[in-house]
Amino acid sequence: MSGGVLHVCGARPNFMKVAPIWRALAERTHLPQTLVHTGQHYDARMSQVFFDELGLPAPDLSLGVGSGSHAEQTAKVMVALERVLERRRPALVSVVGDVNSTLAAALVAAKAQIPLAHVEAGLRSFDRGMPEEVNRVVVDRLAALLLTPSGDADENLRREGARPEQIHRVGNVMVDTLRANLAAAQARPVLRDLALAPKGYAVCTLHRPANVDDPKMLGRILRGLAAVQRALPVVFPAHPRTRKVLDGLGALLAELPGLRLCEPMGYLDFLGLTSQARLVLTDSGGLQEETTALGVPCLTLRENTERPITVALGTNVLVGRDPERIAREALAAIEGRGKRGTVPQGWDGRAGVRVAEIYAGFLRAER
């Protein structure tokens, strides 16, 4: 096959973002599409379940790169994807988010002189200590099309020298997937299975290296959760990376009987869980956006965020990693004194349609 759009996804959040773009292109154009799964998340619980639940077709190609250091993982994707682009010669490579697979695809597309589109362009934490921040900046410099979720992203790109005609504000494609699946997610038995009542529990997720690789830092965060788990159960689906460190904190965990560790969940179960929570505590960028779309109070356990609109307009509060502040802000939310927000413009469930229209127009102009 030659021409058309080649989508690259590799990690859990990518699948939720690719799905609405794929559907919108399939419904509105005759453009051929190729779906490449790099295998950056290679556990079935972290990847295959998303294809099953989101209605994405089976990937046309699975690269199976697996784990490794940032350099190893990026290099494996580059080597494998270079061969794919040589054979397929798509007219456009589409990447989403900020993971290593996104960076690798951008570099290979640039070397192959194939136009690149970046969905979620312009997001910045201004913290180069985050590997994802480096990925974002590099990908945006290489992309021909910069598709942004919000006005702050537009401004970041303009400040960095992007041309106005490159920047297209489309809204948030992950919210498309959320809205399309919310009713089905809330109908699932996850709350019953965990013996939870709507609004009667909190949810915690942690996976950032700065939070989970150092047992002392993870211990500080857990101490911040102590007051929360006394007030109501805290469900903690533990990412494999986090579970390894938690295993060494058994004495501290024993002091937190209200903290309920469980396995990672599929998309629908997790959406059903978070959408009915009283409070979410997280270091996930995507979950900051989802809670804002859902109107659920969110405490972000980081010192910065690449999604500041969720703080400026949404339900998100940056609380860092100080145990006392975590406890104080969490109890305020539990008691109904937490932040109330609004949903940003363009987070309306039609971002994928806008992306598809831009892709189709760009490819017509390129002929």
Per-residue pLDDT of the chain in tens (367 residues, 90 and over written 9): 468 999 999 887 898 999 999 999 999 888 999 999 998 655 555 456 666 778 788 889 989 887 788 899 999 999 999 999 999 999 999 999 999 999 999 999 999 999 999 999 999 999 999 999 999 999 999 999 999 999 999 999 999 999 999 999 999 999 999 999 999 999 999 999 999 999 999 999 998 889 999 999 999 999 999 999 999 999 999 987 788 899 999 999 999 999 999 999 989 999 999 999 999 999 999 999 999 999 999 999 999 999 999 999 999 999 999 999 999 999 999 999 989 999 999 999 999 999 999 999 999 987 7
Residue 245 to residue 291: CA distance in whole angstroms: 26
- This model's pTM is above 0.95: no
41 tagged catalytic: no
Identity of residue 235? V
Q: Which residue spans within the chain are E strands per DSSP?
A: 5-9, 33-37, 61-62, 92-96, 116-119, 145-148, 167-169, 202-205, 234-237, 259-262, 279-282, 298-300, 316-318
Residue 84 to residue 86: CA distance in whole angstroms: 5
**What is the CATH number that goes with domain 182-334?**
3.40.50.2000
CATH architecture for residues 5-171+348-366 = 3-Layer(aba) Sandwich (3.40)
CA-based end-to-end distance of the chain: 17
Residues 30, 37, 41, 207: which is the catalytic one? 207
Q: In the chain, what are the domain boundaries? A: 5-171+348-366, 182-334
Task: Evaluate whether 16 touches 46 at the Cβ level (below 8 Å).
Answer: no
Task: Evaluate whether 105 touches 77 at the Cβ level (below 8 Å).
Answer: yes
